[in-house]
Structure 1
Amino acid sequence: MIQLNISSEKQVSGLNTGFDLISDVHLDFWVKVENPLHKMVPQIKNFIKGILPDVHHKTLVIAGDLGHYNWQNKILIEELKQIYEHILIVPGNHDYYLVSANQEKQYRGKSLNRVIEMKETCSLLTNVHYLDGDMVEIDGITYGGVGMWYDFSYGMKVLGYLEEALYSKWWDIMNDSRLIKGLLDKSFTFADEEKKKLDAIIESSNVIITHVGGDWSKVDRDLVNSFYFFDGSPYFSKLEGKIWCFGHTHQRYDYEAYGCRFVNAALGYPDESDDRKILQIKV
């Protein structure tokens, strides 16, 4: 297995020394879908210009939450392909959202159909990989990705809540409970299915990409974190020399733990972003 030289340095000396990272793009909050199509492309170009670093690598990792509309996300990816040779994407919770009656009809009331459509769209674009328990090797580095899901572990293990109480809080707090259709149930078996995909990739991956993070050691004691992290402790012994990219929480992180570098490079919404750009990761 290739061992990565974990460095906190953000500047790069060349195009082949690492990858670029962002998550939680939420494109339709930055470029409104109501805009005429002939104006959409130049607006997306300007959006990309605003978040692009001065020097960039040839690989871009997007750790979930592109936006609520697949057709708009496709334009974004096509424009990013003019800049990046390789683009790697995992699904985030917002990538499952059906935000209108038209979308519910289009995807037959099943959020999974929207993700399947986006995965198929990416498969038709050269070197665009929508990772869902898959791995891809680029320049000798193996990237493995899966969206992952929260499992209520934080609320139960850290805050002492019962699962039934957490489910009630989840329903009250999270838009996921209302906008993700036909996928989530009270037993949260979806989280278990996502863990199986992570099991299949984590040992062989040098760079792990998930939307939901597996280490909550840096977060405050807050009930909401029950819906932003899963219990990744069974994987910590397998992380030596790796980089774990994640998102979901819009708080940026960059730290080392368990011999691994954990990085969150979330963009977030316009009203919370402070000139954040795509982050350069040196390998």
Structure 2
Amino acid sequence: MKLLFLSDLHDDFWVDADRDLFEGIEDQIGGLDHLLIAGDLTNKPKVRWKYAFERLSKLLPLERVSVFPGNHDFYDFCLDGEDRLEQIASAFGVGYVQKKQLVFGSTRVLCATLWTDFELGAGRTINESHASARMNDFRHIRVASKGYRKLRPSDLVLAHRNQLDWLSGALAEDFDGQTFVATHHAPHPSALDSQHDNIAAAYASDLSELILKHRPERWFFGHCHGGKNSSVGDTQLINVSLGYPDEIADPAARIRDLIFEI
């Protein structure tokens, strides 16, 4: 089976730049058994997700596509609005796989956004203050259940804990085959490069203990456009970010590299 793991499509940015992400590889995309979008499909999802799905539908049947959100998929929207995101995806036949498992033969893929715990480096208190001043997330995302107030780092820590609890439980379940994990945020600081130094805690958590305990074969992550592949124990950490149009000259070549055969 051929699976494409792809994060950080930012489809709306590519449309605005009048560039086709998949130009020259349409046949390869059409031949995929599955495409998993690991977050950051678009900003403003209530308006733009449907246009992204319409474009994807011209390349492959949408029942072969699954998605879970990244931070940008909540921009001009609310953190606690995932029911609406699932409705939009389901209306197009796209699987919504937040805290869900996909199974392809003898391979399972455990999927979650997995926001960070803000514990890297200087520690949570300093990191939360720094991130709230630096990151656009805290200007463009709201929390509907709290009177549509602006997002706070503490909201993301709670979301991280919830998703990490699910993931820990899923990894502990017996499975006769290989286990992959797919998250939007990175599971280890080794995935980051120097551009993330000042705000590393907004991009990754240190999940070494979890990884070494359960030893999934591969952990796919995004969010870190300039991030790198690494490993923790026997687990390969694989960056599947695409990025913005001004960051990548040949998106087709990058996408080819992210097609995996199992």
User: TM-score normalized by structure 2?
Assistant: 0.80
**How many Å apart are 1:177 and its aligned residue?**
1.4
Contact persistence 1:213–1:248 (CA under 8 A): yes
The yes-or-no answer on 1:29 pairing with 2:4 is no
What letter matches 2:143 in structure 1? G
Q: 1:221-271, CA deviations, whole angstroms, 9 ceiling, x for partnerless residues?
A: 612211100121231124435221110010253344321222112111111
Q: 1:101-153, CA deviations, whole angstroms, 9 ceiling, x for partnerless residues?
A: xxxxxx6xx3322x321211222333x22111111223342221010111112
Tell me the equivalent position of 2:88: 121
Instruction: Write out aligned runs for 1:1-283 (5 A).
Output: 16=1, 18-32=2-16, 47-50=20-23, 52=25, 55-56=28-29, 57-70=32-45, 71-81=47-57, 82-83=59-60, 86-98=64-76, 110-113=78-81, 115-126=82-93, 128-155=94-121, 161-182=122-143, 184-185=151-152, 187=154, 188-204=157-173, 206-220=179-193, 222-277=197-252, 278=255, 279-283=258-262
SS in 2 for 1:217: helix
**How many Å apart are 1:75 and its aligned residue?**
2.7
| Counterparts in 2 of 1:79 and 1:58: CA distance versus 1, 3 Å | farther
Q: Pick which of 143-152 and 196-205 moved more.
A: 196-205
SS in 1 for 2:80: helix
| Counterparts in 2 of 1:77 and 1:148: CA distance versus 1, 3 Å | same
- What CA distance in whole angstroms lies between the structure 2 residues aligned with 1:125 and 1:238? 38
**How many Å apart are 1:53 and its aligned residue?**
6.8
User: TM-score normalized by structure 1?
Assistant: 0.74
Q: 1:164-195, CA deviations, whole angstroms, 9 ceiling, x for partnerless residues?
A: 22222112111111112117445332221221
Contact persistence 2:192–2:224 (CA under 8 A): no
Task: Judging by fraction of residues, say which structure has more strand.
Answer: 2
Gaps of 5+ in 2: 145-150
Task: Judging by fraction of residues, say which structure has more helix.
Answer: 2
- What CA distance in whole angstroms lies between the structure 1 residues aligned with 2:153 and 2:71? 17
SS in 1 for 2:50: helix
What letter matches 1:201 in structure 2? A
Tell me the equivalent position of 1:37: none
What letter matches 2:72 in structure 1? H
SS in 2 for 1:170: helix
- What CA distance in whole angstroms lies between the structure 2 residues aligned with 1:162 and 1:217? 17
**How many Å apart are 1:32 and its aligned residue?**
3.2
Aligned residues: 239
What letter matches 2:51 in structure 1? I
- What CA distance in whole angstroms lies between the structure 2 residues aligned with 1:238 and 1:64? 26
SS in 2 for 1:189: helix
- What CA distance in whole angstroms lies between the structure 2 residues aligned with 1:241 and 1:182? 33
What letter matches 1:121 in structure 2? I
| Counterparts in 2 of 1:254 and 1:199: CA distance versus 1, 3 Å | same
SS in 1 for 2:189: coil
Q: 1:190-234, CA deviations, whole angstroms, 9 ceiling, x for partnerless residues?
A: 221221222233345722110001111243461221110012123
- What CA distance in whole angstroms lies between the structure 1 residues aligned with 2:25 and 2:235? 26
- What CA distance in whole angstroms lies between the structure 1 residues aligned with 2:205 and 2:87? 28
What letter matches 1:95 in structure 2? D
Consecutive aligned runs of 4 or more in structure 1 exceeding 6 Å deviation: none
- What CA distance in whole angstroms lies between the structure 2 residues aligned with 1:58 and 1:143? 14
Structure number with greater CO (CA < 8 Å, separation at least 6) is 1
Rg (Cα) greater in structure? 1
What letter matches 1:179 in structure 2? H
- What CA distance in whole angstroms lies between the structure 2 residues aligned with 1:162 and 1:153? 5
